[in-house]
């Protein structure tokens, strides 16, 4: 089976992508520093531990595995931290990605699938975001991802590197089979934080900001199931394998839900109320981020089958109840 290098394959989305690649007939080779990833999440192919800033190590990985493509998930991704420590995000995300891209080009591996973010669009309230919208990130996380997109375009022009860029909206849920799931330290994502509060693993969920210009005062986000998301990545890889040109795709459902609405759905799924307290807004948070794109459906044939709040929360709840990588 053809090898695919999966950076960040020990993390939340990367580990689910490795499962999807394995099911599609590829061998996913996880490249991960394990700073935020988990050895226990690497179940579908070999693991190589290293840092993307280490060019010699990357050259060895390309030489040993001769991959047909790179699927790049590895990144720091906490918006609040990126506001406080922008240098950390530019150094890790941008410089690490540049080193990876240069190594890929040198090795002749010219198919590249990149995990980007809707945070590159910034604050554009009352706009359904599609791929043509202006990119104006308001935090260092989004800015670093936009910079990597630009690097990919440049290397496409100079070296023939072909890429598929996926700009995610909010990812939630877990593998329905329970082989992998969502677990971060520290945890910053709404659904696992909410389920932790329900289970008593934290005193309460903090709702950051209740004075946004939304119907109930809380942020609105477009949620997509992690398994639907990684299915799109396999379709993106096949797009490149079929000789199609570089392309950008939004991955969202086109439906936005507020924090309070997610909590309401959680109560229905789990039959438990969510303990919560109200907090101040977090720096760098947008009011509303919702996809208005149908490009992935029309061109890739991508259909998000599991991306309802009920299914995403139910899958995440099942994972939470079955145990985590911390035992």
| Least-confidence region, from 52-61, 102-111, 144-153, 277-286 | 277-286
| Stretch 258-279: mean pLDDT | 94
Interval 149-170: pLDDT, tens: 999 999 999 999 999 999 999 9
- Cα Rg of the chain (Å, integer): 19
User: By the 8 A CB rule, do 240 and 162 touch?
Assistant: yes
Give me the mean pLDDT over the 56-63 stretch. Answer: 98
Report, as an integer, the average pLDDT of 264-273: 94
Mean pLDDT within 220-224:
95
Mean pLDDT of 172-195: 89
Rounded to two decimals, the pTM is 0.94
Return left, alpha or beta for 27; rule: phi > 0 is left, psi -120 to 50 is alpha, else beta: beta
What's residue 325's pLDDT? 61
Is 120:140 a contact under the CB 8 Å cutoff? no
How far apart CA 190 and CA 244 sit, in angstroms, is: 36
pLDDT for residue 185? 78
Position with higher pLDDT, 324 vs 60: 60
Residue pair 7/100 in contact by the 8 Å Cβ criterion: yes
Query: Given a cut of 60, is residue 326 above it in pLDDT?
Result: no
The answer, yes or no, to whether residue 235 has pLDDT greater than 80, is yes
pLDDT at 320: 85
Q: What residues act catalytically?
A: 141
Query: Among residues 78, 112, 76, which one has the least CA distance to residue 91?
Result: 76
The three state secondary structure string of 264-320 is: HHHHHHHCCCCCEEEECCCCCCCCEECECCCHHHHHHCCCCCCCCHHHHHHHHHHHH
Which domains does the chain carry? Answer: 3-171+224-251 (3.40.50.720), 190-221+254-322 (3.90.25.10)
Q: What's the rounded Cα separation, in Å, for the pair 42 and 31?
A: 10
């Amino acid at each position: 089976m053809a090898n695919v290098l999966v950076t960040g394959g020990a993390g939340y989305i990367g580990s689910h992508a490795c499962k999807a690649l394995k099911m599609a007939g590829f061998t996913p080779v996880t490249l991960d520093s394990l700073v935020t990833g988990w050895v226990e999440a690497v179940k579908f192919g070999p693991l190589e531990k290293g840092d993307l800033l280490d060019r010699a190590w990357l050259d060895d990985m390309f030489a040993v595995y001769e991959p047909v493509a790179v699927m790049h998930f590895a990144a720091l991704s906490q918006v609040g931290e990126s506001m406080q420590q922008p240098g950390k995000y530019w150094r890790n995300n941008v410089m690490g990605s540049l080193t990876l891209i240069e190594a890929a080009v040198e090795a002749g591996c010219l198919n590249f699938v990149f995990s980007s973010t809707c945070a590159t669009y910034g604050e554009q309230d009352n706009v359904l975001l599609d791929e043509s919208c202006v990119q104006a990130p308001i935090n260092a996380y989004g800015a670093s991802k936009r910079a990597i997109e630009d690097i990919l375009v440049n290397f496409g022009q100079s070296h023939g590197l072909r890429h598929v860029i996926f700009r995610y909206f909010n990812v939630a849920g877990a593998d329905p089979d329970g082989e992998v799931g969502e677990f971060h330290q520290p945890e910053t994502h709404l659904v696992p934080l909410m389920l932790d509060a329900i289970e008593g693993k934290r005193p309460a969920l903090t709702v950051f900001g209740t004075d946004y210009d939304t119907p109930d005062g809380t942020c609105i986000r477009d949620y997509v199931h992690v398994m639907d998301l990684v299915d799109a990545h396999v379709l993106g890889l096949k797009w490149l394998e079929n000789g199609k040109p570089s392309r950008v795709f939004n991955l969202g459902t086109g439906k936005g839900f507020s924090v309070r609405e997610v909590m309401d759905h959680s109560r229905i799924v789990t039959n438990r109320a969510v303990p919560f307290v109200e907090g101040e807004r977090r720096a760098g948070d947008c009011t509303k981020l919702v996809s208005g794109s149908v490009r992935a459906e029309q061109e890739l044939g991508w259909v998000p089958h599991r991306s309802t709040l009920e299914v995403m929360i139910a899958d995440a709840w099942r994972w939470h109840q079955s145990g985590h990588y911390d035992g």
